[in-house]
A and B are shown apart, each in its own frame.
Chain A
Amino acid sequence: MRSLKEEPLLEVRGLTKHFDVGKGWFNRKPAQLKAVDGISFKVHRGETFGIVGESGCGKSTTGSLILRLMQATAGEVLFEGEDLLKLNNHQMRERRKDIQMIFQDPYASLNPRMKVRDLIAEPLLTHHMLEGAQIDARVAELMDMVGLSPAYAKRYPHEFSGGQRQRIGIARALALKPKLIICDEAVSALDVSIQAQILNLLSSLQKELKLTYIFIGHGLPAVKHISDRIAVMYMGKIVEIAAKEQLFHQAMHPYTEGLLASIPISDPTQRSDRQEFILEGDLPSPVNPPPGCTFHTRCPYATDLCKSEAPTLQTGEYGGHLAACHYPRQKDLKVAGSY
């Protein structure tokens, strides 16, 4: 495996984003929505770091915070050792060349009034990377790289299907030769057969261009397919981080366990021997999260300790496998009758 001394490409420390909600003339003290609540993780060069979680868990906000599309409330985002959150606007603009993003909705993320050529050339022009004929050559090269015929350069996005639009989005992200690409639900809106094409494309581009990905998604099979390590988020916090095989076979956090159990099976013959572990209830209100461990309201193993004290992300029995739980991998607690 990787040596721990190697400097990570990206290190996030205590990243936090609070939104003021219900601010008005009458409520002096606005309530706070803790969208991202002090998360930390490292991403190494060449790996794909997956972030999974249900809607509202803060995974997309995390992506926006790293790229500074949103202002973080607290924390550090160290990219090659440099804190992005401390850069001024000019320095940040320079840094954006190295970090790019692929968005979820291929219908909404492309300006409908721009031609494909202009869409792909936009990052090059913004950063004055190339000029004149070089731009057209680079656009053609990028289109070819993502599997689009350069002959379509003069078309508008609405003339393409969802999968083809997502390819345009990828070409845009690649234009500046970034080191890190944040894929924010990049395949969630696509049809199954197209999703596979895009996942394969992302994998082969990663190999070819030595890219590092942060792959944010809610579809566990897709995230698992592409990621090397995965963080599971719940209510703005990372509840578990592990290499993907460990996460899927030896989940330590009960939420991860529930999440895995709720993935629909891929073969009807598994119906009978499938363990029933359906998480009951809904996500609690993020404005008024439960005290202690935020998951205790849905956790079948919760004890009084969980209701009063929030667990921190701790190392379990496996190297690099972390879980924020008071009772990691102690499934027999339920049998012992303490819940």
Chain B
Amino acid sequence: MVHSHTEALKPEMSYEVARTIHPITRWMRLLLRSKTGTFGFVILVLVALTALLSVLLAPYDPTLLNARNRLVPPFWSDGGSMAHILGTDHLGRDILSRIIYGSQITLLVSGASVIISAVIGITLGVVCGYYGGGWFDAIVMRVVDANMAIPNILFMLVIVGVFGTSVPTLIVVLGITGWIAYTRLIRAEVLSLKEREFIRAARSIGTRDRTIMRKHILPNLISTCIVVSTLSVGGNIVLEASLSFLGLGIQPPIVTWGYMLNEGRDYIATSWWIATFPGVAIAVTVLGILFFGDWLRDVFDPKAQGRR
């Protein structure tokens, strides 16, 4: 029943010689066709540019205190001024400038830590799944189980407590606590993938295990990896904020969005803008990443190629 439908609705197989489209042309076509993809891409480019060009874009020094201008609301509210478009915080610092500078460390920490967790998590997940049931798999899975029982934040507290707080420490801490999500999902997927007939077919021609994992298993995991990664980037921004809140995050004078969010919490009833704008920045960025991730999945899916 379903079979005959898919058969009927398959993209047409035209009989002319295969067109070769340059990959970048193809990507751009795919990008423009997807509204959400375009949105995500634009947001990401904007945030990245903001981070790179902070020095040029920011109207003020983000750490500049100004006791006279404390708690100025954004320009459209009563008492606001165009001098501080998004207002100032309880120490008189310009919020817009802080958001612009904050993007640097926020992106660096969340991005770099996701790369670390992805590398560890995917490698372990693939190896565990492929040799499922072996001793290595058993050990890693027990570690994963144990990790589920201990709150991540507790683990982070210990590491940060021992090594102190710095940007590299934070990246490593977030990185080595984040691999669990990858390993669990990837392992489950590899377990089912390795039963697929094309893996048997590859083994039947004498392909080595390493090659099978690299050429046949990894490419088929791309969608899962992208989904987990886009979710993790958002998650890590929030985690970094929580650590800042506990006083174990990145210390001033370095600015991050999470830190700003926590600072603003105390004033939320009287001066909503302090916490709201970094919150909006986080939300928009995470949304942009999610949309972009969706589109990225299409790019790597050969079945999306035939669609026009």
Q: Is the CB of A126 within 8 A of B206?
A: yes
**3 A-B pairs with the lowest CB-CB distances in the bound complex, closest first:** A96-B206, A109-B197, A156-B302
Selected interface stretch from A14-22, A32-40, A98-106, A316-324: A98-106
With A111-B216, A156-B303 known as contacts, the answer to whether A126 contacts B18 (CB < 8 A) is no
Q: How far in angstroms is the closest Cβ of chain B from A182?
A: 8
Interface residues of B in 190-222 (CB under 8 A from A): 196-198, 200-208, 211, 215-216, 219-220
Residue of B196, B200, B205, B215 near A176 (CB, 8 A) is B205
Residue of B nearest to A176 (CB): B205
- Given known pairs A105-B197, A108-B198, A154-B20, the reply for A126 and B303 (CB within 8 Å) is no
Do B13 and A159 touch across chains, with their CB atoms under 8 A apart?
yes
Q: Which residue of A has the minimal Cβ distance to B11?
A: A159
Cβ contact within 8 Å between B200 and A103: yes
- Chain A residues whose CB sits within 8 angstroms of the CB of B17 once the complex forms: 151
Docked complex Cα distance between A123 and B215 (Å): 13
Does A69 interact with chain B (Cβ within 8 Å)?
A: yes
**Does B134 interact with chain A (Cβ within 8 Å)?**
no
A158 contacts B303, C-beta separation under 8 Å = yes
Q: Are A172 and B302 in contact (CB under 8 A)?
A: no
Q: In whole Å, how far is B87's beta carbon from the nearest beta carbon of chain A? A: 50
Most chain A beta carbons < 10 A, residue from B20, B196, B200, B306:
B200
CB pair B205 A96 closer than 8 Å? yes
A-B contact pairs, 9 of them (CB 8 A): A97-B206, A103-B200, A109-B198, A122-B207, A122-B215, A154-B20, A156-B305, A159-B11, A176-B205
Minimum distance in angstroms from B97 CB to a CB of chain A: 46
Alpha-carbon distance A105/B3, docked complex (angstroms): 13
Q: Are B18 and A151 in contact (CB under 8 A)?
A: yes
Q: Is B205 a contact of A172 with CB atoms below 8 Å?
A: yes
CB-based nearest B residue for A118: B215
Known: A112-B220, A154-B20. A69 touches B200 (CB 8 A): yes
Extra contacts, 4 of them, besides A113-B302, A122-B207, A126-B211 (Cβ < 8 A), are A109-B198, A111-B198, A113-B219, A113-B300
Q: Which of A113, A122, A161 contacts B205 (CB 8 A)?
A: A122
Checking B10, B205, B305 against A100 with a beta-carbon cut-off of 8 angstroms, the contacting residue is B205
- Of B17, B205, B206, B211, which is in contact with the most chain A CB atoms at under 10 Å from its CB? B205
Residue A160 at the chain B interface, CB threshold 8 Å: yes
A100 and B201 CA atoms in complex are apart in Å by 9
Select from chain A the residue with minimum beta-carbon distance to B217: A111
A-B contact count (CB 8 A): 88
Q: Mark A158-171, 1 if CB is under 8 A from B, else 0.
A: 11110010000100
Size of interface on B: residues with Cβ below 8 Å to A? 28
| Contact among B18, B196, B303 for A108, CB-based, below 8 A | B196
Q: A169 and B201: CB pair below 8 A?
A: yes
For A111, the chain B residues whose CB sits under 8 A away are 198, 202, 215-216, 219-220
**Complex CA distance for A123 and B207, rounded to whole angstroms:** 8
Within the complex, the shortest CB–CB distance from B18 to chain A, in Å, comes to: 5
With a cutoff of 8 Å between Cβ atoms, the chain B residues found around residue A151 in the complex are: 17-18
If the complex has contacts A108-B197, A112-B220, A159-B13, are A100 and B204 also in contact, measured as CB distance less than 8 A?
yes
Q: Decide yes or no whether A127 CB sits under 8 A from chain B.
A: yes
Contacts of B300 in A (CB 8 A): 113
The chain B residue sitting closest to A105, CB to CB, is B197
Closest chain A CB from B300 CB (angstroms): 8
Q: Does A225 contact B (CB under 8 A)?
A: no
Q: Report chain B residues within 8 Å CB of A101.
A: 201, 204
Partner of B207 from the list A108, A113, A126 (CB cut-off 8 Å) is A126
Within 8 Å CB of A152, what residues of B?
18
CB distance from B178 to the nearest CB of A (A): 26
Distance, CA A151 to CA B215, complexed state (A): 24
Interface presence of A334 (CB below 8 A): no
| B207 partner residues in chain A, CB cutoff 8 A | 122, 126
Which of B202, B204, B208, B306 touches A159 (beta carbons < 8 Å)?
B306
Contacts of A175 in B (CB 8 A): 205
Within 8 Å by CB of A172, from B201, B206, B215, B306, lies B201
Contact status A122-B202, CB under 8 Å? yes
Residue numbers in A under 8 Å from B306 (CB-CB)? 158-159
| Interface check A110, CB cutoff 8 A | yes
Q: Please indicate the chain A residues that have their CB under 8 angstroms from the CB of B216 in the complex.
A: 111, 114
A230 to B: closest C-beta gap in Å: 23
Q: A29 at the A/B interface (Cβ < 8 Å)? A: no
Looking at A96, A111, A164, the one whose CB has the most chain B CB atoms below 10 A away is A111
Contact (Cβ within 8 A) A110 B198: yes
**Residue from B198, B200, B202, B220 with most neighbouring chain A CB atoms (10 Å):** B198
Q: How far is the CA of A331 from the CA of B131 in the complex (A)?
A: 52
A112→B13 contact, CB < 8 A: no
Q: By the criterion CB–CB under 8 Å, are A69 and B203 in contact?
A: yes
Q: Does any Cβ of B come within 8 Å of A155's Cβ?
A: yes
A127 and B206 in contact, given A104-B197, A172-B201 (Cβ under 8 angstroms): yes
Q: Taking the nearest CB of chain B, how far is it from the CB of A6, in angstroms?
A: 27
Give chain B residues whose Cβ lies under 8 Å from the Cβ of A127. 205-206
CB nearest neighbor in B for A113: B219
Residues of A within 8 A of B203 (CB): 69
* Contact between chains at A103 and B197 (CB < 8 Å): yes
Say yes or no: B13 contacts A160, CB within 8 Å.
yes
Question: Which residue of chain B lies nearest to A155 when distances are taken between CB atoms in the complex?
Answer: B18
Question: Interface centre among B196, B211, B302, by most A CB within 10 Å?
Answer: B302
Closest to B220 in A: A113
Cα A104 to Cα B305 in complex, Å, equals: 26
A246 to B303, CA, bound (A): 49
